[in-house]
């Protein structure tokens, strides 16, 4: 029954979200960053969703409209997703934060998966992906089904996938708690927290939504439930194909919990058996995505080096303590703290407590590991800590015995109003990201706020020029520092824009050295076009077919400019960019065609 409910809720949530997105895209609402209309509509629809859900659950508790309540409860979080994100983004084709830095790489990956169904790196030719492929691969299939470009499908796929996951929360928690109102409350709170904390990373948000449920279910699994063990194996395996950090936290928590039960239960091997079976099952699923990369890493002979963890922002230097914040989440977290202390011997509280402890231990380790040249990205665990405490707080409310129906009614209204206060702040919390979605130039060369677009308006002309020479995205390597161009157009790149998002198999630093050698040599031994061609052809990687520089062909003395990035961790910012200058004379040959397109000089090798 639970599996059926979860599947039905997910499908229903996805369909409702997609229909809502389509309707919103056909509307003519003003831009979020130039008007308060969409903010007002977001608040209004959030209130309607919360009020209707509370009313239906109230009637459900009295045996009335039970079928309608059971249908509406899983869909209520979908309403929150669309009200707080869908409406504010309705007048732009981009998702939160537009195509800025991190979002640019994510868009590039989704564009790659739109072009292929195989396991391929977002940037480097001929390499399997290093970053988890699951969410992006599914998004690529949605793009193919709808006939959309990768950059254009990002927003609807993010909303649809978030909605589908949020809808599944209610039946999952109903199976764990046996109560529809409690399950709905946890689902709504989880959705609101995730949309506030990490909505710009939808694939991470989806995994985070189920971490508290996994923490609770782990206790049941390790105490003898093989059905729950199988479910957790599937969750951990699938989540590993979406986002590895939260998967690692959950898996480590299950292992720690198994050890706790092993000791408490007088060295019973039952928890150990379950955790081993769970781990083997999860690894087998995860290898569907990770197998090609791990095989290439082990046997490919690459000089692999990863700097993905070389990031420590200021908020990563403090422990998140949500129970000391003056807000609804702070109150829930405080109640949750007391609940965990009082009910520590129940598998509900034990699982949540162990997972919280693992999160804090990981955050502590992340503050210390810079001494050995890296971090554990502990700052990203704040959303998990808040989710775990808030979930415990809702479970604590369940224990309250209200003296009369009148008091119960007043408490219900108060909780609903408090929920609205929090939910209506979500667009405001994401305002900078929403504003950027309107300010960035999209793949059509337009800004959604109707201000003049940036150099991105020339990208279509650049692509057309490249195509005229017989190069298409699926079989062309481009060297450029225009990450936005690569995000919108799924060409392979000779090198990534930063080492932090570069596939370790791509040998980022060695490629930077090669680019630097070519640039410096263009004013020395590689000034002769034949020498430059020979240098390109002798590279250990497939050489660029196209260069997209900044420059001016009308001035033959002006160099062609590009940039390369260098990791300077532990400094913050953790990157410094170096300008490289290429001599136009190195490309003055029948082997190359050059064209000035806006501020860009596009140099294409003739076939």
- Cβ of 606: how many Cβ atoms within 10 Å? 11
Residues 165 and 296 in one domain: no
Q: Residues 246, 225: contact at Cβ < 8 Å?
A: no
User: CA separation (Å) from 108 to 168, 398, 435, 483, 486?
Assistant: 29, 45, 21, 8, 6
Task: Classify burial at 32, counting beta carbons within 10 Å of its beta carbon; exposed 0-12, middle 13-18, buried 19 or more.
Answer: buried
Which pair of structure tokens corresponds to residue 402? 């209200």
Tally of structural domains, the chain: 3
Check residue 65 and give its pLDDT: 77
Check residue 407 and give its pLDDT: 64
Q: Residues 159, 96: contact at Cβ < 8 Å?
A: no
- Assign 492 to helix, strand or coil: strand
Task: Classify burial at 51, counting beta carbons within 10 Å of its beta carbon; exposed 0-12, middle 13-18, buried 19 or more.
Answer: middle
C-alpha 395/C-alpha 491 separation (Å) is 50
How far from chain centre, in Å, is Cα 576? 25
Beta-ladder partners of 596: 601
Check residue 402 and give its pLDDT: 53
Q: Residues 440, 94: contact at Cβ < 8 Å?
A: yes
How far from chain centre, in Å, is Cα 340? 30
- DSSP alpha helix (H) spans, 300-404: 328-342, 347-368, 382-397
Residues 386 and 246 in one domain: yes
Check residue 403 and give its pLDDT: 57
114 lies in which domain range? 1-28+35-200+402-452
Which pair of structure tokens corresponds to residue 18? 């997609």
Q: Residues 223, 268: contact at Cβ < 8 Å?
A: no
Q: Residues 418, 328: contact at Cβ < 8 Å?
A: yes
Residues 511 and 474 in one domain: yes
C-alpha 159/C-alpha 200 separation (Å) is 11
pTM: 0.94
Residues 133 and 256 in one domain: no
Residues 500 and 355 in one domain: no
Check residue 460 and give its pLDDT: 95
Check residue 79 and give its pLDDT: 95
Task: Name the residue with tokens 């608040």.
Answer: 43
pLDDT digits (tens, 9 = 90+) for 384-421: 999 999 999 999 887 765 555 666 667 667 777 777 88
Query: What residue ranges of the chain have pLDDT lower than 70?
Result: 266, 400-409, 411-412
pLDDT digits (tens, 9 = 90+) for 468-502: 999 998 889 999 999 999 999 999 999 999 999 99
pLDDT digits (tens, 9 = 90+) for 44-68: 999 999 999 988 888 887 788 788 9
Beta-ladder partners of 478: 493, 546
Residues 391 and 511 in one domain: no
**Across all residues in the chain, what is the average pLDDT?**
92
Residue 120 CB contacts under 8 Å (≥ 6 apart), including other chains: 112, 127, 128, 129
Check residue 401 and give its pLDDT: 57
> Of 384, 399, 414, which closes a domain?
399
C-alpha 329/C-alpha 462 separation (Å) is 49
Residues 95 and 186 in one domain: yes
Task: Classify burial at 367, counting beta carbons within 10 Å of its beta carbon; exposed 0-12, middle 13-18, buried 19 or more.
Answer: middle
- Cβ of 494: how many Cβ atoms within 10 Å? 25
- Cβ of 22: how many Cβ atoms within 10 Å? 11
Residues 54 and 97 in one domain: yes
Beta-ladder partners of 252: none
Residues 570 and 501 in one domain: yes
- DSSP alpha helix (H) spans, 62-201: 66-81, 101-115, 134-146, 150-177, 180-197
> Of 452, 487, 520, which closes a domain?
452
- Assign 539 to helix, strand or coil: coil
Backbone angles phi, psi at 421, to 5 degrees: -55, -40
Beta strands 477-480 and 546-550: pairing type?
parallel
Residues 209 and 185 in one domain: no
Cα dihedral 104→471→132→163 (10° resolution): 60
- Closest CA relative to residue 84, chosen from 165, 195, 184, 208: 195
Residue 58 CB contacts under 8 Å (≥ 6 apart), including other chains: 412
Residues 495 and 601 in one domain: yes
Which pair of structure tokens corresponds to residue 281? 């099952």
Residues 149 and 67 in one domain: yes
> Of 399, 418, 442, which closes a domain?
399
């Amino acid at each position: 029954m639970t599996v059926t409910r979860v599947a039905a809720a997910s499908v229903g949530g996805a369909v409702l979200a997609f229909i809502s997105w389509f309707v919103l895209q056909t509307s003519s609402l003003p831009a979020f960053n130039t008007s308060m209309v969409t903010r007002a509509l977001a608040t209004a629809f959030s209130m309607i969703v919360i009020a209707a859900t509370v009313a239906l659950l109230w009637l459900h508790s009295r045996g009335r409209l039970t079928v309608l309540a059971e249908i509406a409860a899983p869909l209520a979080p979908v309403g929150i997703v669309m009200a707080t994100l869908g409406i504010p983004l309705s007048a732009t084709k981009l998702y939160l934060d537009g195509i800025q830095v991190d979002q640019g790489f994510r868009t590039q990956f989704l564009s790659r998966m739109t072009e292929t169904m195989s396991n391929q790196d977002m940037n480097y030719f001929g390499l399997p992906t290093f970053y988890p492929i699951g969410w992006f691969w599914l998004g690529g299939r949605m793009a193919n089904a709808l006939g959309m470009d990768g950059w254009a499908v990002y927003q609807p796929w993010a909303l649809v996938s978030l909605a589908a996951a949020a809808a599944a929360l209610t039946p999952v928690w109903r199976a764990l708690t046996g109560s529809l109102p409690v399950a709905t409350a946890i689902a709504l709170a989880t959705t609101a927290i995730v949309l506030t904390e990490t909505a710009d990373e939808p694939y991470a948000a989806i995994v985070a939504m189920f971490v508290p449920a996994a923490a609770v279910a782990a206790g049941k699994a390790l105490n003898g439930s093989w059905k729950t063990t199988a479910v957790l194996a599937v969750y951990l395996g699938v989540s590993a194909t979406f986002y590895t950090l939260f998967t690692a936290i959950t898996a480590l928590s299950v292992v720690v919990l198994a050890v706790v039960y092993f000791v408490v239960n007088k060295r019973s091997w039952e928890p150990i058996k379950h955790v081993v079976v769970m781990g083997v099952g999860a690894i087998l699923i995860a290898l569907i995505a990770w197998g090609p990369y791990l095989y290439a890493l082990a046997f490919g002979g690459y000089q692999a080096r990863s700097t993905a963890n070389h990031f420590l922002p200021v908020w990563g230097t403090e422990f998140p303590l949500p129970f000391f914040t003056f807000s609804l989440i702070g109150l829930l977290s405080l109640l949750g703290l007391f609940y965990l202390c009082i009910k520590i011997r129940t598998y509900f509280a034990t699982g949540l407590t162990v997972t919280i402890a693992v999160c804090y231990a990981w955050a502590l380790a992340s503050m210390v590991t810079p001494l050995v040249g890296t971090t554990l990205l502990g700052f990203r665990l704040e959303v998990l800590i808040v989710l775990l405490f808030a979930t415990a707080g809702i479970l604590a409310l369940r224990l309250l015995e209200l003296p009369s129906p009148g008091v119960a009614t007043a408490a219900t209204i108060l909780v609903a109003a408090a929920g609205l206060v929090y939910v209506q702040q979500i667009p405001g919390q994401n305002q900078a990201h929403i504003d950027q979605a309107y300010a960035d130039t999209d793949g059509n060369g337009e800004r959604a706020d109707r201000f003049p677009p940036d150099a991105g308006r020339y990208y279509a002309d650049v692509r057309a020029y490249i195509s005229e020479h017989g190069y298409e995205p699926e079989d062309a390597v481009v060297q450029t520092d225009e990450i936005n161009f690569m995000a919108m157009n799924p060409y392979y790149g000779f090198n990534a824009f930063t080492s932090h998002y570069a596939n370790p198999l791509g040998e980022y630093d060695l490629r930077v050295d090669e680019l630097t050698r070519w640039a410096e040599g263009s004013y020395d031994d590689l000034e002769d076009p034949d020498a430059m061609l020979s240098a390109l052809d002798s590279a250990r990687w497939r050489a660029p077919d196209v260069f997209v520089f900044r420059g001016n062909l009308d001035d033959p003395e002006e160099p062609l400019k590009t940039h390369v990035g260098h990791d300077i961790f532990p400094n913050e910012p953790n990157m410094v960019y170096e300008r490289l200058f290429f001599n136009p004379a190195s490309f003055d040959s029948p082997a190359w065609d050059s064209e000035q397109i806006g501020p860009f000089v596009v140099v294409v090798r003739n076939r």
